């Protein structure tokens, strides 16, 4: 029979549950900025860097004329860059 894993309980919640999905990355960046968010091979990206780069992607898209509720087609590999772009949309 397999070993049962114990889950650590958090001493405090990261957020109260009233956070929109699009803001979860920003909340993590504010509360745990140096915690690993994405591990890809030997590269680790923390929440602060990931949030900053996702915001940069959002600003580039806005500069290209993308607006709220616009449809954007994208295609990328399963990677840190793809994660940044998806959160920038």
Task: Give the pLDDT confidence of 26-83 residue by residue, as tens digits.
Answer: 888 999 999 999 998 899 999 999 999 999 988 999 999 998 889 988 887 788 888 8
| Structural domains for the chain | 21-88 (3.40.50.980)
Q: Give the C-alpha separation, 76 to 83, whole Å.
A: 9
User: Would the pLDDT of 1 be above 50?
Assistant: no
> Which positions ≥6 away from 19 have C-beta within 8 Å?
27
Q: Tokens in use for 60?
A: 């580039």
> Which positions ≥6 away from 43 have C-beta within 8 Å?
80
Confidence of residue 3 (pLDDT cuts 50, 70, 90): low
Whether the model clears a pTM of 0.75, i.e. scores above it, the answer is: no
């Amino acid at each position: 029979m397999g070993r049962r894993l114990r889950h650590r309980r958090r001493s405090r919640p990261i957020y109260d549950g009233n956070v929109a999905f699009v803001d979860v990355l920003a909340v993590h960046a504010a509360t745990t900025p140096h915690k690993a968010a994405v591990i890809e091979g030997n590269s680790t990206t923390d929440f602060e860097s990931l949030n900053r780069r996702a915001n940069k992607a959002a600003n580039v898209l806005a500069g290209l004329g993308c607006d709220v509720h616009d449809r954007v087609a994208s295609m990328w590999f399963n990677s840190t860059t793809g994660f940044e772009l998806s959160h920038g949309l």
